Amino acid sequence: MSQDARRTGERPPPEAPHRVHQVERRHRILGRVADEQTIRVAELAALFNVSEMTIRRDIRRLERDGFLRQTYGGATAHLTRSFDLAFNARALERTREKRLIGMRATALIAGARTIFLGIGTTAEQFARYLPARHDLTVVAASLPTASLLGTRPLRVVALGGEVLRDELTFVGGPALATLERYRFDVAIVGAAGFSARWGLTELNEAEAEVQRAALFRSARVVVIADASKLGVATSIVVGPATLVETLVTDPSAAPDEVVALRALGLQVIIAGSDMVGDDIAGNNAADTVGADLATAAAIGSR
């Protein structure tokens, strides 16, 4: 309080709230929804010292990513999602890259009749952009992807079994028993880590067991992983990199790791890159990303 204010007894004007980064703001919005089930735009705008339009953009983005439902004047909890997952930092990090990777990977299943879709937020982005096909069966390893695909005109099979609370993934004997009934044309899997030396790695043994079983029942394996996962090795090995036919990643992928993976025979596709031919896949000029990716990039930047 200033000396003038002390002399007059007047209260100083309140200081403006500190502005926070948009990712932190969205985390905190999800926290409010998790605690209160509903939120109001005007209250959040005052809380974060931003315009109501900014909050509405945040809500639209979070709704598009599957975390909540927009309502008149605010938003409510998305009943098909766990906020243990929604509040996880991974779910809000590198969303633009994951969206581009997921969209690009959908072009790799042409002709497939039965696919396995693994776990993780990048797999969820793949599910969002998967074109509807009546002749396609998708065996989903998590509740979020099964939920996203369940209303589409395609056949969706949830693995079943025990559901891990934090990730909403299916694990255990019943999940493995379901896998035994299928042979997959393509397995689309995410990763906690993926490297030339250690291959595909996960954080949880139960999830790794399901992923491992699916890989060995698949004619082709496609890994979808943003650059933060490349060159990383976590504690549980799912399988060697040589099991993988194609990696779809983003332009910030470490060049040394990309070179090492290509040396093992993997096709590496850079989602969102304007480069063609050897600069993208090492051997396939058709890997140029099309106009749909440019549209997705524009969406992600909003």
Q: Which tens digits make up the pLDDT trace of 209-251?
A: 999 999 999 999 999 999 999 999 999 999 999 999 999 999 9
Q: Answer yes or no: same fold for 22-90 and 94-300.
A: no
The sign of the dihedral angle between the CA atoms of 247, 267, 216, 135 is positive
CA angle 127, 131, 134 (to 5 degrees): 110
Cα 130 → chain centroid: 14
pTM above 0.85, yes or no: no
Report which residue type is found at 214: A
Q: Does 131 score more than 70 pLDDT?
A: yes
Share of the chain above pLDDT 90, in %: 46
In the three-class reduction of DSSP (H, G, I as helix; E, B as strand; rest coil), residue 117 is classed as strand
Higher pLDDT, 80 or 141: 141
Report which residue type is found at 95: T
Please list, in sequence order, all residues whose beta carbon lies within 8 angstroms of the beta carbon of residue 20, skipping any fewer than 6 positions away. 28, 48
**CATH value of 94-300 in 3.30.2350.10, 3.40.50.300, 3.40.50.720, 3.40.50.1360:** 3.40.50.1360
CB 66 within 8 A of CB 125: no
CB 43 within 8 A of CB 32: no
Looking at residue 18, its pLDDT comes to 55
**pLDDT of 4-37, one tens digit each?**
444 445 444 444 445 667 777 887 887 777 666 6
Looking at residue 266, its pLDDT comes to 97
Strand partners, 221: 187
CA angle 14, 20, 25 (to 5 degrees): 115
**pLDDT of 86-111, one tens digit each?**
434 455 566 788 889 999 999 999 99
**pLDDT of 48-78, one tens digit each?**
888 888 888 888 877 766 666 677 667 665 5
Looking at residue 224, its pLDDT comes to 97
Report which residue type is found at 206: A
Q: Within 10 Å of residue 173's Cβ, how many Cβ atoms?
A: 10
What does CATH list as the number for 22-90? 1.10.10.10
Residue 92, Cβ density class (10 Å: 0-12 exposed, 13-18 middle, ≥19 buried) = buried
Q: Domain residue spans in the chain? A: 22-90, 94-300
Strand 199-202 and strand 193-195: the pairing is antiparallel
Looking at residue 77, its pLDDT comes to 56
